Amino acid sequence: MQNKIIFLFILCSLILSACGASDSGASQTVEGYITALASKDEAALISNSCAEYEDDALLILDSLELVEVSLADGVACQEVGNDGDTTLVNCTATLQMSYGGEPQELDFSNITYEVVNENGNWLVCGTR
C-alpha cells in the first residue's frame, strides 16, 4: 500500500511539473522580451524574438531611444491560450516613460503576445 502511495505522489509531481514547465517557457520569453525593452538591450530583445519579428521589435526599441524608461513593479506573464502552433501570452507590466520631463505609461496588459516554439526555443513572434 505504501508503495502505491509513493508511486501516486511521484506521478502527480511529474504531471504538475510538466504543466508548469509548458507555461513557463513562453511566459518567461515574453518577460525577457519586455525586460529587454525596458533596459534597451538590443541583443536580449533579438534573442527573445523570432526571425520574422526582429525588425518590428527593433522598431519598437528604436522608438524608445530618446525616452527614459523603467518598469514599474516588474513583469508577470502567463499563457492564456493557443492559436494553432502559436501560444498566446498576456502580461501585467507597466513601462514608465519620460520624454522632456513629460511622464507617460505603456500598459502591457492590453497586449497579447504571440509566442512560437522554434527548434525548442520559445520566441516572441507578434502581438495582438
Total structural domains within the chain = 1
Of 114, 111, 52, 126, nearest to 86 (Cα)?
A: 114
Residue by residue, pLDDT tens for the chain (128 residues) are 454 444 333 433 334 334 444 456 999 999 999 999 999 999 999 999 999 999 999 999 999 999 999 999 899 999 999 999 999 999 999 999 999 999 999 999 999 999 999 999 999 999 99
Domain CATH number, residue 16: 3.10.450.50
* Closest by Cα among 104, 47, 44, 119 to 72: 104
Listed residue (87, 82, 127, 83) closest to 109, CA to CA: 127
Domain extent at residue 42: 2-127
Q: pTM here?
A: 0.81
